Amino acid sequence: MSSIQTNVDPYTGSSTSTRDGIAKEDVAHLEVADKGKDFDNVVEKPESIRGLSPAELQKLETKMVRKIDMVIMPIMGVLYILNYVDRSALAAAKVYGIMDDLNMTTNNFATAISILFAGYIPFQIPSNLIMTRIPRPGLYICSAATIWGSVSAATAAVQSYKSLLAIRVMLGITEAVFFPGVIYLMSAWYTKKELGKRLGALFVFQMLGSAFGGFIAAACLTLNGREGTTTVGCGLISAMLMPEYPHNARLLNQTERDYAVWRIEMEAGAGEAHEETSVLEGFRRACLDPKVWALVWCMGMSQAMGSTTNFFPTIVETLGYNKNITLLLTAPPFLLAAILFYIISYISDRKNVIYPIHVICLACAVVAYVVAMATTKTGPRYFAMMLMPTVCAGPQILLYKTLNIHMARPYPKRAAGVAMINAIGGISNVWTSYLYYGSPHYYAAFGCLLGCVVAFFIVITAYRMHVRGLNKLLSGTPEEQRRAIKSGVTEQQIDLNWRYIGY
C-alpha cells in the first residue's frame, strides 16, 4: 500500500508530502486540512528570527547544526570508544588466561560478563529521568565518564573472582548514565531528518570500539590500570565542552538558540524549553503506552542477537588461529558494520523508511546464524561472523530512532522510553551469557538467536500495523483524532499535522 507523510517546512511554514506511513486515500484530506493553516500560531516563531527569509533560515540552520556536530559527535564518539575498550577488557583477558589466574569456570566467566548488567540495567531509567531536570546534561554525562574510568582502572587491583564481580557491578552502575543519556540528549537537538545519521554515527563509534577494543584492552593488560586514566582525563575535558539543551546552550548565540528550539518544536510540539509535564507523569505515560513496550521487546530480541559481541573473540577463536590473530580477526566484521550503519542511517533519513530496513537486517541474521551452526569451514563461518555485528546493531539504531520520533512528546516520556528500551531490553545480555557453550557450533546460542529473529519480526510487524492505523485516525474526523490522542499524541502535534513516520 502506498502512503505519504505530510510535513511542515520549517523555513516557509508550508506543507509538503512525502511517501511514508499514511494511506494514499488520506492525501486529499491532509492537503485540504493544510490549506490556510498558520503553523506559526501553533508554535510561535521567536522574534529574533521572524524577519529572516527562508534562505537566511537555511544558512542559520546549516551553521548551527555544523557547530553542534563539531562538538557533540567527537566527544560522544571518543567516550563511546573508551566505553567499549573498558567493557572489552574482560573478553580479551579470557583469551590471555584470566580464567586460570582467578580459577574461574565457564559459568563463572559467564557470570562475570552478565553481572555488569546487574548494575547497568536498574540505574538507566532513574538516570534519564533525573537528566530531564538537570540544566547541564552534558556535564552530567561526561562526569559519569570520569567515574567509570576510575572504576575501570581499579580492575587492575583485582586478585579474586569475588573482587572481579564487585568491580563489574560498579562498572555497570557508573556506565548506566552514558548511552541512554546520549541518545536522549541527541534527540533534543536533532530533527527527524537528522537524527538517524547521528545515531548511525554513534554506532559507528561503537563498532570501532568493538573492532579494536579487545585488541587495545589486551595491549593494556600490562599497564596495571593506567589506561583508565585516559577515560578520566577525556571525561574531565569533555565536561567543560559539552553543550546543554538548545534553549540554554552557551555554545550558541541567542538567535541560534531561539532557532534551535523553534525548529524542533515545529516538528513535534513543546519540548524541553516549554513543556511542563513532570518527570513522574512522563514515566507513567511511557509505562502505559503499548508502543513503548513493543519497542522494549524488539530491543530485547536485538540485544540478545547482540550478545555475540560479548563473546566475539571466543567465537572467532573457533577458526583455530593464535591469540593475536584471533583478536585481529575480530576487527573486520565491526568495520564492515560501521560502513553499513552509515548507509542504513542515510537511507532511513533520506527516504523516511525504517520497517523495510528492519526486515532486511533480520533476513541477513537468519543467514548468519544458520551458516554459523551448519559448518566449521573457515570461509563460510567467517562470512557469517562478518554479518553478525550489523544484523544485531542495525535494528537497534532504528529502534532508538523510532522511539525518539514516535514518542517525542512529552519529553520526560521520551527520556523514560529511551532508558526503558535500553535497560529492560538489555536484560537479554544477562541470560544470553549462559548460551555460549558447545564450541564450535554453539547450537544453543545460535538456535536461540534464530528464535529471537522470528519474535522481533512478529512484534515489529504488529507495531507497523498499529501505527499505520493511528495515522488513519490522525487523518480522520475530530472524534477519530481524539482517539489518537488517547494513544499518546498531543493536541499540538495534531495541529502540526504530525504523523508516525517510517512504517
Give start-end residues of each CATH 1.20.1250.20 domain in the chain.
Answer: 47-270+279-495
Burial class (CB in 10 A: 0-12, 13-18, 19+), 375: middle
Measured CA to CA, the distance from residue 59 to residue 409 in angstroms comes to 28
> Which residue type, as a one-letter code, is found at position 176?
A
> Which cell is 430 given?
544477562
For residues 390 and 337, the answer to whether their CB atoms sit within 8 Å is yes
Type of residue at 436 = Y
Distance of CA 389 to the CA centre of its chain: 15
Q: Tell me: pLDDT of 17 over 80.
A: no
Please give the pLDDT value at position 23: 45
Strand partners, 8: 15
* Secondary structure element (H or E) that encloses residue 457, with its range: helix 443-474
Other residues' Cβ atoms within 10 Å of the Cβ of residue 443: 12
Range name among 3-12, 123-132, 164-173, 215-224 with the lowest pLDDT average = 3-12
C-alpha distances (whole Å) from 140 to each of 81, 136, 195, 360 are 18, 7, 22, 37
Greater model confidence, 12 or 335: 335
Q: What's the grid cell of residue 97?
A: 588466561
Report d(CA 302, CA 428) in Å as an integer.
9
Q: Which residues is 353 bridged to in the sheet? A: 502
Closest to 117 in 3D by CA, of 303, 313, 329, 332: 303
Q: What is the CA radius of gyration of the chain?
A: 23
Per the CB < 8 A criterion, the answer to whether 183 and 418 are in contact is: yes
Contact at 8 Å (CB) between 361 and 305? no
- Which triple of cell numbers denotes residue 123? 540505574
Count CB-CB contacts under 10 A for residue 491.
12
Which residues 6+ apart lie within 8 Å of 55 measured at CB? none
CA distances from residue 83 to 89, 174, 357 in whole angstroms, order as listed: 10, 11, 27
Neighbours of 343 (CB within 10 A): 12
Specify the DSSP class assigned to residue 346: H
* SS3 label, residue 502: strand
Cα(151)–Cα(232) distance, integer angstroms: 10
What CA–CA distance (Å, rounded) separates 425 from 402?
Answer: 15
Chain segment 59-96, per-residue pLDDT in tens:
999 999 999 999 988 898 888 888 777 766 676 666 66
Question: What gap in Å lies between CA 300 and CA 4, rounded to an integer?
Answer: 30
Instruction: Provide mean pLDDT across the span 185-192.
Output: 86
pLDDT score of 92: 62
C-beta separation of 425 from 303 below 8 A: yes
The confidence score (pLDDT) of residue 275 equals 57
Helical (H) or strand (E) element with 212: helix 192-219
Q: How far apart are CA 137 and CA 253, in angstroms?
A: 19
Q: Which residue has the cell 554479518?
A: 387
Which has the higher per-residue pLDDT, 210 or 369?
A: 369
Query: Which is the CATH superfamily of the domain at 47-270+279-495?
Result: MFS general substrate transporter like domains (1.20.1250.20)
pTM over 0.75, yes/no? yes
Contact 191, 401 (CB under 8 A): no
Q: 54 CB contacts (<8 Å, ≥6 apart)? A: 11, 12
Nearest to 21 by CA among 479, 469, 324: 469
Phi, psi of 68 (to 5 degrees): -70, -45
State pLDDT tens for residues 105-155: 878 887 887 788 888 888 888 898 888 888 888 889 988 888 888 888 777
Which CA distances in Å does 335 have to 258, 382, 386? 39, 14, 9
Q: Which residues of 160-172 are buried (b: 16+ CB within 10 A; e: fewer)?
A: ebeebbebbbbbb
pLDDT for 15 = 44
Cell matching residue 83: 566505553
pLDDT at 214 over 70: no
Q: Characterize 51-88 residue by residue with b for buried, 16 or more Cβ atoms within 10 angstroms of its Cβ, and e for exposed.
A: ebeeeebeebbeebbebbbebbbebbbbbbbbbbbbbb
With 80 as the cut, is the pLDDT of residue 19 above it? no
